[in-house]
Amino acid sequence: MQAVILAAGMGKRLGKYTKEVTKGMVRVVGKTLLEHALDSLVEKVDRVILVVGYKAEKVKEFLGNSYKGLTISYIDNPHYETTNNIYSLWLAAEEMKKDDTLLLESDVIFEREVIERLVKTDGEAVAVIHKFEDWMDGTVVILDDYGNIASFLDKSAIVWENSANYYKTVNIYKFSKEFFSKYYFPFLKAYVESNGYSSYYEVVLSLIAGLKNIKIKPLIIDGLKWYEIDTPEDLWSANVIFSDLDEKYELLKKSYGGYWRFPSLKDFCYLVNPYFPSESFLSRMKKIFENLITSYPSGRERIKHLLSEMFGVSHEMITAGNGASEIIKVLSEVIKGSFGMMIPTFEEYPNRIKNIITRKPENDGFRYSEKDVIEFFEDVDNIVLINPDNPSGNFINREGILNILDSISGSEKNLILDESFVDFANPDKRFTMIVEDVLMKYPNLIVVKSISKSYGVPGIRLGVVATSNANLLRKVEENMPIWNINSFAEYFLQKMEPYKDEYKLACDLISKEREFLINELSKVEGIRVYPSQANFVLCRVENSQEIALKLLANDIFIKDCYGKLGIDKPKYIRLSIRNREDNKKLIESIKSVLEGKDEV
């Protein structure tokens, strides 16, 4: 058996990465794509034929005529700039008539097991495929009732509503020399003679698949890793997927989200409400998607009136930000004086605030009380208090917050109260300070709330700030663009009222799931779980880095708190609350890891 690798293309979409080399020479996790492919072919084929074009000499110089016992020969495609891969295959056709062939493209990285399975799979023609997922692009196939490939669809023919029926081609095939000579080559010859070389070789397969007497069998590799690399974004994703665990963890952490790219990953790191928005609310938003994406949002005044209705305070006391992060940045610029913060905490505040003084509770679990905050005010002009705090879950009840406010009443000191997680507190402890009477009584109270976190819509980027200090609110708004809120966020605010009961129920479910998670994890030896009123829990373990990496091996991504301000030992992890099924998976995985097993 032999292998043919198509590696003539220019890979223009990869920009700087292919300025001096062809796509197959781009490196993923320290090795070129061609090396990855050749490693999988060692001891599986007798020789490899590379069809080269763009920067061909660099490929030949790099690989030479052999690789780990594989004999390598080259076919030059001089017209790589004006043709597509059907021409490269046409150039290799005479060689493919001589032996059974594995056909690969040079821009795909995959696990070695893919080739191992393909070699063992019976069939005159076998296509490697994977169940279609949103990140995939290019040719897809549909299977018939007998499990054979019924048709190939170009990406332009994809109907997204039917995507559940699709499988994506991985661009790896096995053809017997008989199949290629008797079927593929005659169709190929007829096609190029009538249509030229500007198409792709899959179009010939689509013609053959329509014949009743020929079966193209699929090799479904769901569960195995692979990635097709066409853009810098693809390159980043491939590096995440194929990196060692420590590098993979760092890459995921530094991306701060966007994990829909990795459907198998369970995100227990970032904090969101898994029970809201409800299906009915989402269906409503989907129905108006086209209008929203093609329409400008309203300006600030209209948004303020929507917030007024949602939170029950005067529109003159509240405004919106593009996520709480925009509000945090602006507040750090318009509020003068020194700022105090208990640590560890949400680091967007200390990262933005210049004149900051921190205090670390000297106890297990980073617990502090209203008394500690009141005493802290003796040394600072302002205090940022996240309640419940992140990552500790420390919580001060409503009476305690009022006592803090009373202690600074009449002064020029300010309490910036971030209550992004307070809606997840137990129902008997849940409260908000976005109340008109409270805001009026305490003009030095500034309440920040992340709608993204509590309402489960981080993708629409929405946060609010409320205060009766009209001068401060005016300065905040002057430092934000008039169109800082997108149409999806505006529509969410506009239609939220009928779903308030569903939102309350969702928060109640989080409270119950938190209790379940704490109770079950507390039974596991080797982990200590601290009390929390948020949608996450802080846990102490022997080695947080080791735990995080071993869980990532099970596709579970958690927050290793080592390195956060105030946490100088690898002893703490933060776990977000998800639904019951996911929480059970997390518990079993942690138990397995702590018992010394690598996988569940």
Asked, as a colleague might, if the bond just before 498 is cis with ω within 30 of 0, I would say no
Lowest mean pLDDT among 18-22, 211-215, 461-465, 584-588: 211-215
Q: Are the beta carbons of 527 and 517 closer than 8 angstroms?
A: no
pLDDT range class, residue 16, cuts 50, 70, 90: very high
CA-CA-CA-CA torsion sign (440, 441, 446, 447): negative
Average pLDDT of span 160-178: 92
- CATH architecture of the domain 279-498 equals 3-Layer(aba) Sandwich (3.40)
Amino acid found at 567? I
Provide the greatest CA pair distance for the chain. Answer: 92
Q: Collect all residues with Cβ–Cβ distance below 8 Å to 370 and sequence separation of at least 6.
A: 396, 400, 401, 403, 404
pLDDT range class, residue 158, cuts 50, 70, 90: confident
For residue 600, is pLDDT > 50? no
Average pLDDT of span 508-523: 97
Looking at the chain, the domain(s) classified CATH 3.90.550.10 span 2-230
| The token pair that represents 67 in the structure block | 């690789």
For residue 74, is pLDDT > 90? yes
Amino acid found at 376? F
Q: What does the alpha-carbon distance between residue 403 and residue 240 come to, in Å, rounded to a whole number? A: 48
Q: Collect all residues with Cβ–Cβ distance below 8 Å to 476 and sequence separation of at least 6.
A: 319, 327, 330, 331, 334, 465
Helix orientation angle between 33-41 and 112-120, rounded to the nearest 10 degrees:
40
Say what the pLDDT of residue 598 is.
Answer: 53
To the nearest whole number, what is the mean pLDDT of the chain? 95
Say what the pLDDT of residue 405 is.
Answer: 98
Q: What does the alpha-carbon distance between residue 17 and residue 235 come to, in Å, rounded to a whole number? A: 9
Residue of 213, 140, 132, 217 lying closest to 171 (CA atoms): 140
How deeply is 256 buried, as exposed, middle or buried, from its count of CB atoms within 10 A (0-12, 13-18, 19+)? exposed
Write out pLDDT tens, residues 263-317.
Answer: 889 999 999 999 999 999 999 999 999 999 999 999 999 999 999 999 999 999 9
**CATH class label, 256-275+502-594:** alpha beta
Residue of 347, 343, 307 lying closest to 325 (CA atoms): 347
Write out pLDDT tens, residues 366-406.
Answer: 999 999 999 999 999 999 999 999 999 999 999 999 999 99
Write out pLDDT tens, residues 336-370.
Answer: 999 999 999 999 999 999 999 999 999 989 999 99
Q: What does the alpha-carbon distance between residue 35 and residue 38 come to, in Å, rounded to a whole number? A: 5
Average pLDDT of span 129-145: 90
* Three-state DSSP state, 358: strand
Which residue carries 């949103």 as its tokens? 134
Q: What does the alpha-carbon distance between residue 2 and residue 67 come to, in Å, rounded to a whole number? A: 14
Looking at the chain, the domain(s) classified CATH 3.40.640.10 span 279-498
3-state DSSP of 500-558: HHHHHHHHHHHHHHHHHHHHHHCCCCCEEECCCCCCEEEEEECCHHHHHHHHHCCCEEC
Burial 404-437 (b: 16+ CB within 10 A, else e): bbebbeeeebbbbbbbbbbbbbeeeebbbbbebe
CA-CA-CA-CA torsion sign (194, 199, 201, 205): negative
pLDDT range class, residue 597, cuts 50, 70, 90: low
Pairing of strands 527-529, 536-541: antiparallel
Torsion of CA 225, 231, 237, 239, to 10 degrees: 80
Q: What does the alpha-carbon distance between residue 67 and residue 51 come to, in Å, rounded to a whole number? A: 16
Looking at the chain, the domain(s) classified CATH 3.90.1150.10 span 256-275+502-594
- CATH architecture of the domain 2-230 equals Alpha-Beta Complex (3.90)
Amino acid found at 238? A
3-state DSSP of 145-202: CCCCEEEEECHHHCCHHHHHHCEEEEEEEEECHHHHHHHHHHHHHHHHHHHCCCCCCH
For residue 154, is pLDDT > 90? no
Q: What does the alpha-carbon distance between residue 403 and residue 370 come to, in Å, rounded to a whole number? A: 7
Average pLDDT of span 237-242: 95
Q: Are the beta carbons of 193 and 93 closer than 8 angstroms?
A: no
Write out pLDDT tens, residues 212-227.
Answer: 788 999 999 999 999 9
Q: Collect all residues with Cβ–Cβ distance below 8 Å to 150 and sequence separation of at least 6.
A: 141, 142, 143, 144, 209
